[in-house]
Amino acid sequence: MLGQAMTSIFCRKKLGVTHMLHVDRYARTESVLFTPGDRSRPDLFGLSRNGWIVAESKGRTRGADAGTLTKIAQQKRKISSIDGRSPYLTLGCISSFPPPVSNMRLDVIDPDEDQPEPIAISVNYDQYMLAYYSPLLDLIDTADATDRSGGYVSGRFTNLGVEIQLREQIYEQVYNAQQTGPEGLFATIREQLHLPFLDGGGTVREIAGEVANPTDAIDDTGGDERSDNPDGSNFITNWDEDIRPTGPELMPG
């Protein structure tokens, strides 16, 4: 989970990906067929302003070894096309804690040639958006307390000290799409969020250089950290108050 989370954050902050979706989740909703018995495929794919980006992620408690690098290079090349076109970029990300330091390190692997027998995915853009937002609605609806105010629908998880928000218009549109079908959902959300999906190509370094101020604004007000994500959601918590020891305090010495 750490590897996927860090890969999504990297793709959002550095490559401008707004809606990173797990390949298997979309495959379940759209009956995408993979080679029987072959679980070797990338984890995530999503839209940037330049086209589709495919990413494989790994998490390691120690540094990445040669076997991990080989495997991630193979998996990230497993998708040859999305919606009839080659991915704008394929990459691999490895989150690790290489000794002797305790800081986390993120290694990003640039594109390479296609893997033999790669996968082609046909994307229904409306279903893509529905698959992306549905878990968020489910999460809000199962919260300890829900609220509608300030243009957001929010769910508060009291024991975790976390609040999840989604723009009320998007919440209603996704809810309606769940009931009646997703037709038109992609275009509506794209217009609301002002998402400029264009076409292009390049390497990780080139693309990261093109993305200026890539939707990573943080508003720190009264101790609350609020991340205004480009998908219209917010994650709100007070780290000083909500992340606290659950056992005896550790005394120096």
* pLDDT tens-digit map of 60-89: 766 655 555 555 555 555 676 777 777 888
- How many CA within 13 A on the CB side of residue 174? 26
| 156-185 average pLDDT score | 94
| Weakest mean pLDDT among 56-60, 91-95, 143-147, 177-181 | 56-60
The last residue of one of the domains, among 121, 150, 176, is 121
* Per-residue model confidence (pLDDT) at position 168: 95
In a domain, 202, yes or no: no
Q: Give yes or no: residues 106 and 130 share one domain.
A: no
The last residue of one of the domains, among 104, 121, 138, is 121
In a domain, 251, yes or no: no
Q: Give yes or no: residues 6 and 116 share one domain.
A: yes
In a domain, 164, yes or no: yes
The last residue of one of the domains, among 65, 86, 121, is 121
Output the 3-class SS for the chain.
Answer: CHHHHHHHHHHHHHHCCCEEEEHHHHHHHHCCCCCCCCCCCCCEEEEECCEEEEEEEEEECCCCCHHHHHHHHHHCCCEEEECCECCCEEEEEEEECCCCCCCCEEEEECCCCCCCCCEEECCCHHHHHHHHHHHHHHHHHCCCEEEEECCEEEEEECCCCEEEEEEHHHHHHHHHHHHHCCCCHHHHHHHHHCCCCCCCCCCHHHHHHHCCCCCCCEEEECCEEEEECCCCEEEEECHHHHCCCCCCCCCCC
- State yes or no: pLDDT of 105 exceeds 80: yes
pLDDT 10s digits, 198-232? 444 455 555 455 544 444 433 333 334 444 688 99
Q: Give yes or no: residues 82 and 160 share one domain.
A: no
| 120-138 average pLDDT score | 89
* Per-residue model confidence (pLDDT) at position 170: 96
Q: Give yes or no: residues 10 and 86 share one domain.
A: yes
Q: Give yes or no: residues 109 and 141 share one domain.
A: no
In a domain, 75, yes or no: yes
In a domain, 54, yes or no: yes
In a domain, 206, yes or no: no
Confidence at 171, pLDDT banded by 50, 70, 90: very high
Q: What is the mean pLDDT of the chain?
A: 75
Burial-class residue 33 by CB neighbours within 10 Å (0-12, 13-18, 19+): exposed
Q: Give yes or no: residues 87 and 141 share one domain.
A: no
Higher pLDDT, 189 or 239: 189
Give residue 172's domain range.
125-193+216-242
Q: Give yes or no: residues 28 and 134 share one domain.
A: no
pLDDT 10s digits, 13-47? 888 888 998 887 777 665 454 444 555 567 788 88
Q: Give yes or no: residues 183 and 155 share one domain.
A: yes
In a domain, 203, yes or no: no
Let me know: does 76 contact 86? Beta carbons within 8 Å. Answer: no
Give the pair of three-digit tokens for residue 92: 């691999």
Higher pLDDT, 158 or 83: 158
Q: Give yes or no: residues 11 and 72 share one domain.
A: yes
Q: Token pair 């999503």 is at which residue?
A: 46
* Per-residue model confidence (pLDDT) at position 111: 55
| 171-191 average pLDDT score | 94
* Per-residue model confidence (pLDDT) at position 165: 96
Instruction: Please state the domain count of the chain.
Output: 2
Paired sense of beta strands 79-82 and 119-121, if any: parallel
Q: Give yes or no: residues 14 and 97 share one domain.
A: yes
